[in-house]
A and B are shown apart, each in its own frame.
Chain A
Amino acid sequence: MRAIAWKELREHLRWALLGLLANGLGLLVGLWPGRVPWSYFRSESLLSERFLALTTSQFAVWGGILGFLLVLRDHSGDRWSFLLFRPIRPGTIFQGKVLAAAALYFPSTLVPLFLAAGWAATPGHLAAPFDWRMSLAGLADALTGFVFCLAAMLTGLRQARWYATRAIGLVVAVLCAALVQEVREFGEALAAILVSAALLYGAAWEAFLARAGAARRPLPLRFALVAVLFTGLAALAEPAIELLALLPAPKRQTYSIYALTPQGEVCVIRYDHADYPPKLISAESLEGRPLELGTDRLSFWEKIVRGIYLDFEPGTRWADRYRDADRFFTRVGKWSTLEDGFYRFGARTVELYDRKDKRLLAIAGPQGFALPEHEGPPFPGELLLSVPNGPSFLVFADAAYGIDEASRRLTPHRMREPLVNAVWEGNSQGEGLIAACSRRELFLLRRDGRVLLSSPLRFTAPDYDRVECSMLPTGDRFFVWYFPSSSTTAPVPGKSVRLQLQEVTAHGEVVRTYALPVKRPALVQEPLSPLAALAALTPPPLCLANAIGRGLPADHPLAACAPLSLVSAAVFAVLAFWVCRRFAFRPSMCRGWAGAVFALGPLGLLAMLAAHEWPARLPCFRCARRRVVSRDTCEHCGAGLAPVAPDGTEIFDVEHQGTK
């Protein structure tokens, strides 16, 4: 193996050097401070959009190129035979190639990546906080690139009867890359990479052995190949089936909501949600009196009073993945200044950077700003809210802080009791309101810290889980909507909790109370498109995953297809059994494939067809039925093979006759 690895290393070294240079250049562009002409995004860290777009794409492309180079250069018949025929097992040659691939790929990606991380970590290079965990996203992309390398090796090695199925390995690599982008934690990304790499490694090994003439390949390797084929086919077919089945938009939804007029009147609005913007159907008071809110699609939204929705419990931060910069810091302060301010979640401090010199200017904690070397204590507790688009306003559980970066002043606003959640609703100019709640109280604040409303929470968990705070344009009347927990989920049989609306004063005294029945979307059922029947081709496990994992309603085509998919899987299992019998497979293999196809559906059948080398079938000389050429006897009549007809010109001596 060492000699093969050395040969591959030496043969592809200059390509690896080229890859190293290209990767280094790419990462340099990715980290270049500020905007580059061809990129909209500014680069601030190892997690900037530009940097990650480059690591994702260039590592995948480089991995793919290297994989193809490693197999295609030895592809031609004579060179392949020369490489293969040596006193080692063919698997050892493959492992030597993979070892060389790893030895070429990882230095050419990890060295530039670590240099980039080192450069970003060095003060004075980027005007943004640095955390070593920020390099995990690039590391995940580098590891994913090796998955592409294995996929390319599989594609180059596989001798597929259906030419297109050679590229299935690359589909699996793309799927792996998509998972790496989507998962929350680096560990999950690593698991996706390891599973994909293991499957592709096994499948490529199988393809290598098949190409090397091995009549029998180990079962785990064949399993890996089938798994890769099925996964790739499912990744291609499932979105296509879903798209075709749902394309005709089988449902229209009519929503009814309660709203407030600018005069403080409660009304009921019905609108059609099928189109965007929603179309108003009717608007009437609680007593049923029609209201004039305009007829065009947008105007009625402008004429009702919008509130701020606030959950009693804080939700998960939307951008809390290992490859989101928002996991580590969030930008605070005005964007127009010459300084960049960031709140660091790990350190619980605000850091102020000079945008030009990339230097850390000051660090702010609850005691105000300090020079970096005189850093004070951190803010207490977790940050609940950072108000964007204007002067910094940070809301913590115990206090809110207004921060003026220009004058380096910090203004605390103490809360009467610890806050649980806070939400900001405003416009791009930074104008708006903050809604915050503790376990017992609700607040409406301006971003300068002024409290507009302070009201006890009168309806709480478990029956209620969110409020909506509304302030009339006059600024002196407040309404608080309490939404039942079940209003966003399916109703609980035998239990009816009403939506509560209270008009309150600025100090929380109740002026008026409404108890309203919960409005739910009225579904207008439309007949399913005939194409929805395609959903029955979805493999049963995916149907189950759709129905349970995605929480689709029972009448959704993808959920409704579960029983049908079982029927189609059974039909395809019978078909698989018949095909296996036709090609004279062993009975146990026929049963095994039928079972696998029943579990995996029609895509399992496709995977079976793509995974096997199917022998030709020619007419038997005795029974004239088609028989497979790979068996010594006809599977129908047991006849041997038709002897080659002598034509009288054969010249065989006695010695040869002895071999017959």
Chain B
Amino acid sequence: MSQTNAPEAIRTDGLTRYFGSEAVVKDLTLAVPRGSVFGLLGRNGSGKTTTIRLLLGLLAPTRGSAVVLGSPCTNLSPETRARIGYLAEGHPVFGWMRVAAFGRFQAGFYPTWNEDVFQGVLRFFQIDARRRGRDLSRGERAGLCLAATLAPDPELLVLDDPAIGLDPVARRGLLEALLYVTRREGRTVLFSSHVLADVERVADRVAVLDRGVLRACCTVDAFRERVRRVVLRFSGAPPTLPEIPGLLSRWITDGELRLTIANYDAAVQRILEGLPLERMTAEPLGLEEAFLDYVGDRGERTFFLQGRRAEA
């Protein structure tokens, strides 16, 4: 199926996109290995959807380049597009179209359309093929879109926030269907999401975008491993902290200082041990906590939180 022997399904080099004078994606350089499930994380407006649209050739980059399945993203041929399955954000379907007609409509574009897969996913989500798009629930619409995305048997799946708006049951169903098909076939999946539990469950690697800038790109385990929370207990009031590389956040609670630090290593440990500590413990972090601390301190402070911190 693969037409190139490149180890990456996607590779970007300095990919940049401006809207007016605002850089929405800034100098993005990353690679998505073949056969991996790659999670694209970031807060709202961090540039995830724009990155996906750039990769799929739906937006022209202002600068830089990207190669998707061996083709430059600015000139994806119909053959390359046929090898990519794209699930757009919001699960768009044509409201007037019946499910069966939707399948036929999509099948008309893909020579490799697998009707069994389409029907199988519809059965999994219990979607009646006679219903119209506008009558489907959000979960059913997501299922229909997933069916239409998987049925062409794509080599690369690009899913833009596939779980958006879904309840936990529908989300679980969507992920299971996704996992079943992708893991079995060894496909490459690039997906963006806000639901960290889902990412933790299915992704091999994650990339974190912060206001268009790539701040992290590694395996999920490495991300969890390298974002540490350290609880420092002092006998008196906590002293003024020296400059700590990779410090993401700090909280003071009951004489304790809780620090979240990226790239925690021996050098950082030595700095911390130099403080008049009573006790120092490290707390394990889940991906969600690690992510929240990672991107939160860069702008998560809402007016409300800032007010509370000022009071403290």
Contact = CB atoms under 8 A, between A and B. Distances in A.
Interface of A: 2-3, 6-7, 10-11, 77-79, 81-82, 84-89, 212-216, 615-618, 629-632, 641, 643-644, 648-653, 655-656, 658-660
B90 A656 contact: no
Contact of A629 (B8, B18, B57, B78): B18
Interface string B262-304: 1100000000000000000000000000000010000000000
Contacts of B18: 615-616, 629-630
Given A85-B56, A659-B31, A660-B29, A78 B92 contact: yes
Nearest to B225: A651
Given A78-B90, A629-B23, A656 B60 contact: no
Interface in B53-111: 53, 56-63, 74-75, 78-79, 81-82, 84, 86, 88-90, 92, 94, 96-97, 105, 108-110
A653 B217 contact: yes
A644 B81 contact: no
Closest 9 CB pairs of A and B: A87-B82, A616-B21, A3-B108, A653-B218, A651-B216, A649-B262, A215-B60, A78-B90, A87-B81
Nearest to A646: B215
Contact of A649 (B8, B97, B294): B294
A10 B96 contact: yes
5 contacts: A85-B84, A629-B62, A649-B246, A649-B263, A652-B216
Interface of B: 8, 11, 14, 16, 18, 20-21, 23, 26-27, 29-31, 33, 49, 53, 56-63, 74-75, 78-79, 81-82, 84, 86, 88-90, 92, 94, 96-97, 105, 108-110, 160, 205, 208, 213, 215-219, 222-223, 226-227, 245-248, 262-263, 294
Contacts of A11: 94, 96
Nearest to B72: A215
A16 to B, nearest CB: 14
Given A81-B92, A88-B109, A656-B31, 9 more contacts: A77-B89, A79-B88, A615-B18, A641-B14, A644-B27, A649-B262, A650-B262, A655-B33, A659-B30
* Interface SS, B side: mixed
Contacts of A651: 208, 215-218, 222-223, 226-227, 262-263
A84 B213 contact: no
Contacts of B248: 649
A656 B215 contact: no
Nearest to A11: B96
A7 B226 contact: no
A9 to B, nearest CB: 12
B109 A3 contact: yes
B9 to A, nearest CB: 13
A88 B82 CA distance: 9
Interface centre among A213, A617, A629, A630 (most CB of B within 10 A): A213
Nearest to B216: A651
A186 B58 CA distance: 43
Nearest to A649: B262
B57 A213 contact: yes
Contacts of B160: 78, 81
A641 B222 CA distance: 30
B63 A648 contact: no
Nearest to B60: A215
B96 A78 contact: no
Contacts of B27: 641, 643-644
A93 to B, nearest CB: 10
Given A630-B62, A649-B248, A656 B262 contact: no
Contacts of A78: 88-90, 92, 160
A650 B86 contact: no
Contacts of A84: 58
A81 B217 contact: no
A632 B13 CA distance: 12
